[in-house]
Structure 1
Amino acid sequence: MPTTAPAPLRPGDQIAIVCPARKASHEELAPAVAILESWGLQVVLGASTNVAHHQFGGDDEVRRQDIQAQLDNPAIRAIISARGGYGTTRIIDALDFSRFAEDPKWVVGFSDITALNCHLLALGHQSIHGVMPLFFQLPGGEYSLESLRRTLFGERISYQIPPHALNRFGTATGELIGGNLSLLQTLTGTPSDVSMAGRILFIEDIDEYLYAIDRMMVHLERTGKLRHLTGLLVGHFTNPQDNTVPYGQTPNEIIQHYANKYAFPVAHNFPVGHEAQNVALICGREARLTVNAQGAHLAYV
């Protein structure tokens, strides 16, 4: 069943910044607001910004009400999560997407927002896995930010990345699905779980122990989620942790061990994740992945 794509943004459109997970102050968001306004957008700061309940952007009800209001407001044409952290899964089942379904809008985020990306895909809607406002000004992240702008405004974009020793050559076509590996595992068996069959999976993570990366890959394999993939993009696994007794493999080697059980093409070091190189990917959009001696190329079909 084809997924629904929201309309591209146009200059003058209103967009909202919200905090589904960790808190963010107006002072922290000010540089990103200026950038978004320079794109010709009108920025609304949601009620979950500039408030705090422990580490969260307000308590669960504050965050839920804010996101619901932005989902239901026809004047808001995109909802951008200020940051990730933790907390989206605490409120997602209390959100009502019925009005959203009548007039879809772009939802943007990564990390903990993988839950929202996947939930929308389970409902048949495309969303953007991309850089969030608190990361707009990371040194070296200019292209990632430009990729978000181009994606939001409906401009054509494709990605070419250098070769990697662990890459497996081939060509794959399928809808993009993925995000943070820890969240993808957490969503298994929930209403936000989505089939990976016939799709190109992209994964990334941060601060995870090497054995935990292996455990999560075992989980994906045992639940059959790797079996019918058409392709795999391995993003950044930032700041991996190890035990006193070394695990003995890098994150890329761990992932390739499981990918080797199947025949789909694999592209390592794809620029997505918790680093400055974090290009925008449309979850649910059909794409073609080509991996060869020149590297990997990803373009929407």
Structure 2
Amino acid sequence: MNYQENYLSESDKSIKNYTIPPYLKAGDSIMIVAPAGFLSDSTEIDQGVELAKSWGLNVKLGKNLFKKHNHFAGTDPERLEDLQDALDNKNIKAIWCSRGGYGTVRIVDELDFSNFKKNPKWIIGFSDITTLHEHVHRLGFASIHGTMPGGMRRATPEAKETLYKSLFGLELSYEVPANVLNKLGTSKGVLIGGNLSIIMSMLGSNSDIDPKGKILFIEDVGEDLYRVDRMMYTLKRNGFLKDLKGIIVGDFDYNADENILFGGTQREIILNAVKEYDYPVIFDFPAGHIRNNHALTFGKKVKLESNATTAVLSYL
């Protein structure tokens, strides 16, 4: 069954005040599911499970979590079943996606969010999970961009701590050294974003969101620079960039040799795409496909300050 007509409308794109799911507390239950790529083995998430337990959380595993079907963590119906169960279960207070890869887009339009809307919960992940972030944002709910169980083996203490603070509602702000290419200024808006490739691919879909008045976070991995250039221009031609209030650029891993061939840098590509817009842009924010993947709460109002020495992101 396709549920998209039941819960999406054009007006949903322009939601300004997002519902913040209840913050976690010791004794709450979370569920780990795999909506995209498969796990290599059951031990891949061990450190993530132990971390959550150390926070006082009960950890449930999706029935199909360790299955494999071609590139995916089980067939589309199997992955859909686990994610739907997690959305519907009132006792589950957060859904922690096991890893990224690819595949969330294949099941997102089959999900029924009616119970989720009555009992909202945190959805946590990044990379391919950007599809879910954008989809629940379209519905008006906040979510968390952060390290997943499959990557917890290599996560820094800061990545773990910021995820904990985000989930448990503790005070959190970020200050990073200024990059010389940062665009200076101060702005306020709702934080949105995720993986650049996924954001671009959602344009015109039932998971597309209105960028007006938003501060956009972007990151990506393994993309040639000409692809980054094309993605930025695709966003620009769709009017996605002009009404933003700011851009936060996380980690972008790319081939240095290809960088030389293209004749520019990732930062120059992004600046070129937004050069006529009067809002702050900061680089080198510690989030993305890196060990030091600091958690971000999408859907919250934030203040972005960029000056000659530092860049500060604070929640309002």
Identity of aligned residues (%): 45
How far apart are the structure 2 equivalents of 1:162 and 1:67?
39
Distance 1:243 1:237 in 2: 14
Code of the residue aligned with 1:252 in structure 2: it is R
Which residue among 93, 97, 122 is the counterpart of 1:106?
Answer: 122
In 1, Cα distance between equivalents of 2:27 and 2:42:
21
* CA-to-aligned-CA distance 1:231-259 (integer Å, 9 cap, x gap): 11011111347659800111111111112
CA–CA distance in 2 between the matches of 1:273 and 1:113? 12
Matched, 1:279 2:284: no
Unpaired stretches in structure 1, ≥5 consecutive residues: none
Between structures 1 and 2, the one with greater helix share: 2
1:75 aligns with one of 80, 91, 98: 91
Q: Does 1:124 align with 2:140?
A: yes
Name the aligned partner's letter for residue 94 of structure 1. E
Question: Partners in 2 of 1:245 and 1:142 — Cα distance?
Answer: 34
Please say if 1:87 is aligned against 2:103: yes
CA distance in 1, matches of 2:57, 2:169: 14
How far, CA to CA, are the matches of 2:259 and 2:46 in structure 1?
A: 42
2:224 and 2:254 in contact (8 A); partners too? no
Q: Is the 8 A contact 1:20 1:48 kept in 2?
A: no
- Pick the aligned partner of 1:201 from 193, 216, 220: 216
After superposition, the Cα gap between the structure-2 partners of 1:244 and 1:193, relative to the gap in structure 1 and judged at 3 Å, is closer
Residue number in structure 1 paired with 2:313: 298
Q: CA deviation at 1:299?
A: 0.6
Look up the SS of the partner of 1:34 in the other structure: helix
Alignment equivalent of 2:80, drawn from 60, 64, 68:
64
Among candidates 269, 283, 288, match of residue 284 of structure 2: 269
SS of match in other structure, 1:235: strand
Alignment deviations for residues 161-190 of structure 1 (CA, whole Å, 9 cap, x no partner): 011011011101000011100000110010
The counterpart of 1:10, out of the listed 20, 25, 31, is 25
Letter in 1 for 2:266: P
Q: Which portions of structure 1, spanning 4 or more consecutive aligned residues, are displaced by more than 6 angstroms?
A: none
Change (3 A) 1:245 1:280: closer
1:154 equivalent in structure 2: 169
User: Does residue 1:55 correspond to 2:71, yes or no?
Assistant: yes
Q: Deviations along 1:242-279, whole A, 9 cap, x unmatched?
A: 65980011111111111212110011111111011211
Q: Could you say if the C-alpha distance between residues 281 and 245 of structure 1 is closer, same or farther in structure 2, counting changes exceeding 3 Å?
A: closer
1:44 alignment partner in structure 2: 60
Q: How does 1:224-243 map to 2 (within 5 A)?
A: 224-240=239-255, 243=258
| Counterpart check, 1:33 vs 2:49 | yes
Q: Is the 8 A contact 1:178 1:203 kept in 2?
A: yes
User: SS state of the match for residue 136, structure 1?
Assistant: helix
- Structure 2 counterpart SS, 1:197: coil
Aligned residues of 2:46 and 2:149 also touching (Cα < 8 A):
no
Paired residues in the alignment total 300
> Matches of 2:211 and 2:240 in 1, distance apart?
6
2:259, 2:194 → 1: CA distance? 29
On the 8 A contact 2:195/2:219 being kept in 1, the answer is yes
Q: TM-score, length-normalised on structure 2?
A: 0.93
Which residue matches 2:5? none
Q: What is the SS of the residue equivalent to 1:79?
A: strand
Using the TM superposition, give the Cα deviation of residue 288 of structure 1 relative to its aligned residue in structure 2, in angstroms.
0.3
Aligned-residue CA RMSD (Å): 1.3
- Which ranges in structure 2 are unaligned for 5 or more consecutive residues? 1-15
